[in-house]
Each structure stands twice: as C-alpha cells, then as structure tokens.
Amino acid sequence: MTPLSGIRVLDLTNVLAGPFCCHQLAHMGAEVIKVEAPGRGDLARNLGSDPGLNAMGMGISFLAQNAGKKSVTLNLKHPKGKAMLCKMVKGADVLVENFRPGVMAKLGLDFETLRTHNPRLIYAAISGFGQDGDWVHRPAYDQIIQGMSGVMSITGAPDTAPYRVGYPLADTIGGLTAAFAVAAALGDRSKAHFIDVSMLEATIATMGWVVSNYLIGGTEPAAHGNENTTSAPSGTFQTGEGLINIAANKDEQWVLLAKHIARPDLIERDDFATREARKANRFRLKGEIEQALSTKPALQWEQELNAIGVPAGVVLTVPEALASPVIQSRGMIAQFANVPGVGRDIQTLRTGIKWDGGAPQVDSPPPRLGQHNQEIFGKLGYRDLNSLEQEGVI
C-alpha cells in the first residue's frame, strides 16, 4: 500500500490546498518533508476550534492533514536558507508550493532555478487563479474561489442562494487535483515538469454536469436546494422522524417506491407517468410521497427502501456519519497515541482510497515545528545547527 515508497516530496505549502495535496502523497508512501518558516511554521498550526492547541502551534487544522510528514524550519529569505533548500532539491523528486505567483521567483527559487539543481524535479505550484492570466496577482482563499467559480450561485435553495459549501471545497479540490497531477508526472522521470494548478479551474472542472448544461444545452445553472433536477422523485423528503434522501431515478425504481409506500395509484396518473412528467410536477409528487412517508421514521424507511432496490439514505450529522458502521469498519479514521506537542491521543482522517483491500496509512503523527531539523539537515552535512538557528536560518 505504498506505491510512492522511495519518492521524496518537499512540502513548502501552507494552510489547506497544498498541505492536503501532500497529505495524499504521504499516505501513498512518499517521504514528505514539510519546510516551514522558523518560529511560526504553517499558519494552520494556529487554526482550529481548540485555542489551547493553537497556542502550542499544533492547531487542529494542522493536525488534520500533516500526519506522516517530517518538519524542518528554513528561512527562505536568508542566503544560507536558499542554499540549503537547493541542496534539499538535489535529493528530492517533487516540490509543492502554494505561494502567490511570483513569490518563489523573487526568492530566486523558482522552477527554472531549481531545475538546474535537479533536472528531473517535479515542481507543482498551486494558486487561486494560475501562474498567468489577468488575475495572476490576486490573493485567493477558498470562499473567494467558491464565489468566483459559480459554486455559491447554485448552492442553497432559490430563496437562500448564494451559499458557500459548508467546508473548504475549493481548497480541497485544488489539493486533490495537484496530487493527481504529481502522481501522473511521476510516470515520466525523463525530464523536469512544471505543474500549474489553478484552484478556480480545478473547481470548475468538477462542475462538469452543471457547466455542460449551460455550454451545450443553453440552460443557465440555478440553485435547486435539495432537489435533483435530473430526475423525480429524487431529493430530500421529510418523514415521520427526520429527513431522508431518495433517488428513484429509474422508472423501475419509481414503480417500486410507489408500491412500497402503498401509493400504486400514483403510477397511473398522467402527471407522474413519465420521467419528464414527474420532473415537471416534482413538488406535487413530493407532497404525495411525504404524506406517505410520515407514517415511519427516516431510519426505517432507509432500511426498507434499500432492501427493495430503491436508493435511500438518512441525512446524517458529521458525528453520525463518522460513527456509522461503514466508516468505522473500513479503516478511514487513524488513531495516534499521546502525540508530542499535543499531549493526548488524537484521531485524524486517512484518505478516501483503499489499496489492495487496505487503507493507506502513515506511521507517525503530525510533527512539531522543526522536529526533524537534526535528522534532515544532519544528513545534508550540516552539523552546527545551533549557529544556523542563531543566524536565523533555521
């Protein structure tokens, strides 16, 4: 379960998109060395819902996506720091950064410079809008991208949109896209590669169905709440207790649903007879179905409908989802005991991948800032780390 074993990644990233990219690579077996600013490190070390951990530089936002990595501190503005990074690049396969475009060039550490130290370097740059174009110098955060990609405009109901998605969607997609691109580039080690990931483009790329309805069909995307506009009945329904998602997208599923809720009469009605008719009269149909569903709780309907081949699922909270048997049994949650810098056990997520029947995992918890200075810099021949620290290099 370590297909990237032997691959060394230099992680020069901060906060989410870049660290999430390298989080995936670490779980695939790569050695990920996180290069952080001396004294402060990744901003995510100070972010999260636990103020105490934030103060210790081990914020939950950092813990969430840095397990398995090694941490070194390096001042990339100092001449000695630049030289040390170049030396690290010689022994690396991949470098990932998510600075604003132009920052690495100003530091004298851009792709063209670093490839002279390693002619097979894979250099991945993640930014909000890409490394060129009209918006190249704009700063970007997840919510900015959500708004500018159109995601917010189609999230929510007609009377509530635009809404942001409830987690950093654009950052996460940007990180996944970069990890995918890096893994692909590792298939060709004959030369150096420069990977330019735009979070805006990566996010829009995942909106294929919605965008294509506009590009090909001329239908402007809109917010439809919890309704699946491609079919009916398909969406969220109120039951006697709780909400349930039902996706009777096929005609045979619709027939099974109608019969099971004791409403076979709905099948014969002209306004529900075909897929297009059901779509056109979806809210009238929804009312009829919810009346029937009011006799039982969502969990019971979920069990009954899935048993007869009608896809259905209770709407869960995040804690409920994490506690579900399928998540608990498939090894998605990692356990780390008495984590240094945290002082207690923690749980973090692994990836959404299973490899040859197992969950890829890392063997060490998120590192303390500079935890691996001695190990990494010592191997590069630097012996007097105290002097480097006093000079502000590390």
What backbone torsions phi and psi does residue 68 show, to the nearest 5 degrees? 85, -5
The domains of the chain, with CATH numbers, are 8-206+329-390 (3.40.50.10540), 234-315 (3.30.1540.10)
**Burial category of 191 from C-beta neighbours within 10 Å (exposed 0-12, middle 13-18, buried 19 and up):** exposed
Q: What one-character-per-residue DSSP string does 87-103 give?
A: HHHHT-SEEEE-SPTTH
Contact 111, 123 (CB under 8 A): yes
- Write the pLDDT tens digit of every residue in 135-181: 999 999 999 999 999 999 999 999 999 999 999 999 999 999 999 99
Which one from 142, 171, 356, 363 is the annotated catalytic residue? 171
Is there a catalytic annotation at residue 171?
Answer: yes
The upper half-sphere exposure of residue 127, i.e. CA atoms within 13 Å in the direction of its Cβ, equals 19
Contact 95, 392 (CB under 8 A): no
Describe the chain by its helix, strand, coil percentages, rounded to 5.
Answer: 40, 15, 45
Residue with token string 């990890």: 179
Rounded-to-integer distance, Cα 173 and Cα 203, Å: 6
The per-residue pLDDT for 231 is 93
The per-residue pLDDT for 128 is 97
Q: Tell me the angle at which helices 298-307 and 251-260 cross, rounded to the nearest 10 degrees.
A: 130
- Mean pLDDT per 10-residue segment, the chain (394 residues): 93 97 97 97 96 97 97 97 97 97 97 97 98 93 97 95 96 98 96 98 96 95 93 97 97 97 95 95 97 97 98 97 95 96 96 91 96 96 94 95
Closest to 151 measured CA to CA, from 134, 175, 137, 171: 171
Q: What one-character-per-residue DSSP string does 249-302 give?
A: -SHHHHHHHHHHTT-THHHH-GGGSSHHHHHHTHHHHHHHHHHHHTTSBHHHHH
Rounded-to-integer distance, Cα 49 and Cα 110, Å: 35
pTM of the full structure? 0.93
Strands 312-314 and 243-247: antiparallel
The per-residue pLDDT for 301 is 98
Rounded-to-integer distance, Cα 362 and Cα 381, Å: 27
The per-residue pLDDT for 2 is 87
Closest to 18 measured CA to CA, from 95, 73, 86: 95
The per-residue pLDDT for 245 is 98
**Burial category of 283 from C-beta neighbours within 10 Å (exposed 0-12, middle 13-18, buried 19 and up):** exposed
